[in-house]
């Protein structure tokens, strides 16, 4: 019997094309990542704009003005006449970090309610008492020279905002990079579609 001829091949049946992500999938991923950066930016701006700087000042003979300020905006100042202000006192509370540790905050008592003169609580009573005593001395003798004081807790209060904003920037850059890849891939696909002999 004649020998059986073995089949031969001049080359591979088909070339294995490298895995390429279509531009449509890249666009979907890019838009998803860009959309994800929006809530990060919103939360970041909200925390950065916490009104953690409290300013309080009085003119000779009154009135006194209380302002709350954030990094981005500030609230409308509150103005109090001498008749509206009763006294300043130190409010005490327990720290959430330890049952035996007290925390303090100066506040102004008026006919319109109570208004804190600092955003965060203070660890030392002496620091809060200094603010309350200065206000009470003025209320007892309002014809003394006017004064101004402030307590700025914005760096401490906006740490979370900085973290959210930083994360938003990173996510935004990733989304822009994916968008650039998607545009580049789409151009390659169009070039192959219009190439002769394809």
What residues contact 163, with CB distance under 8 A and at least 6 apart? 44
Would 3 be classed as within a structural domain? no
Which tokens sit at 53? 């700087």
Contact between residue 52 and residue 70 where contact means Cβ atoms under 8 Å apart = yes
Distance CA 94, CA 127 (A): 17
Q: How many domains does the chain have?
A: 2
166 and 73 inside one domain: no
| 145 and 57 belong to one structural domain | yes
Residue 117 sits in the same domain as residue 170: no
Are 66 and 142 members of one domain?
yes
106 inside domain: yes
Provide the whole-model pTM: 0.69
Same domain for 79 and 143, yes or no, is: yes
Residue 13 lies in a domain: no
Residue 68 domain flag: yes
Q: Which pLDDT tens digit goes with each residue over 109-126?
A: 999 999 999 999 988 899
**Is position 174 within any domain?**
yes
d(CA 110, CA 81): 10
Domain that holds residue 148: 51-156
Tokens 């004081």, residue located: 149
| pLDDT interval class at 96 (50, 70, 90) | low
Residue 14, domain member (yes or no) = no
Give tens-digit pLDDT for 162-191: 899 999 999 999 999 999 988 888 888 888
Say yes or no to pLDDT of 7 above 70.
no
Pair 28, 74 in one domain = no
Length of the chain: 198
CB 183 within 8 A of CB 96: no
Lowest mean pLDDT among 93-107, 144-158, 165-179: 93-107
Q: Would you place residue 83 in the very low, low, confident or very high pLDDT band (cuts 50, 70, 90)? A: very high
Does the residue 12 lie in any domain? no
Identify the band that residue 100 occupies on the pLDDT scale cut at 50, 70 and 90: low
Closest CA to 181 of 57, 16, 68, 29: 29
- Higher pLDDT: 185 or 108? It is 108
> In terms of domains, do 94 and 150 share one?
yes
Higher per-residue confidence, 7 vs 108: 108
Residue 78 resides in a domain = yes
What pLDDT shows up at residue 184?
87
Across the chain, what does the average pLDDT equal?
85
- Are 85 and 113 members of one domain? yes
- C-alpha 30: how far from its chain's center? 23
Q: In what order do the strands lie in the sheet with 85-94?
A: 85-94, 102-110, 113-116
Do 109 and 89 reside in the same domain of the chain?
yes
Give yes or no: residues 67 and 134 share one domain. Answer: yes
**70: confidence class by pLDDT, cuts 50, 70, 90:** very high
How far does CA 163 lie from the centroid of its chain? 7
**Which one has a higher pLDDT value, 8 or 60?**
60
Regarding whether 113 and 70 lie in a shared domain, the answer is yes
Q: Is 198 exposed, middle or buried (0-12, 13-18, 19+ CB in 10 A)?
A: exposed
**What is the number of other CB atoms lying within 10 angstroms of the CB of residue 106?**
26
**56 shares its domain with 121:** yes
pLDDT at 159: 87
Mean pLDDT of 68-87: 93
At residue 156, the pLDDT reads 85
Considering only CA atoms, which of 31, 23, 33 is closest in space to residue 182? 23
Of all residues in the chain, what percent carry a pLDDT higher than 70? 85
């Amino acid at each position: 019997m004649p020998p059986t001829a073995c089949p031969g091949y001049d080359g591979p049946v088909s070339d294995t094309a490298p895995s390429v992500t279509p531009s449509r999938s890249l666009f979907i991923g890019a838009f998803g990542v860009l959309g994800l950066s929006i809530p990060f930016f919103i939360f970041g701006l909200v925390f950065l704009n916490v009104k953690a700087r409290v300013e309080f000042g009085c003119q000779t003979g009154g009135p006194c003005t209380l302002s709350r300020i954030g990094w981005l905006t500030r609230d409308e100042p509150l103005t109090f006449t001498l008749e509206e202000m009763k006294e300043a006192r130190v409010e005490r509370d327990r720290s959430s970090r330890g049952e035996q540790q007290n925390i303090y905050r100066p506040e102004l008592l008026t006919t319109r309610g109570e208004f804190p003169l600092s955003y965060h609580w203070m660890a030392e009573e002496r620091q809060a008492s200094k603010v309350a005593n200065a206000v009470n001395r003025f209320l007892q003798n309002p014809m003394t020279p006017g004064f101004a004081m402030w307590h700025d807790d914005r760096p401490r209060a906006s740490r979370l905002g900085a973290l959210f904003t930083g994360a938003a920037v990173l996510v935004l850059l990733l989304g822009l990079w994916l968008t650039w890849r998607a545009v580049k891939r789409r151009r390659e696909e169009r070039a192959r579609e219009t190439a002769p002999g394809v």
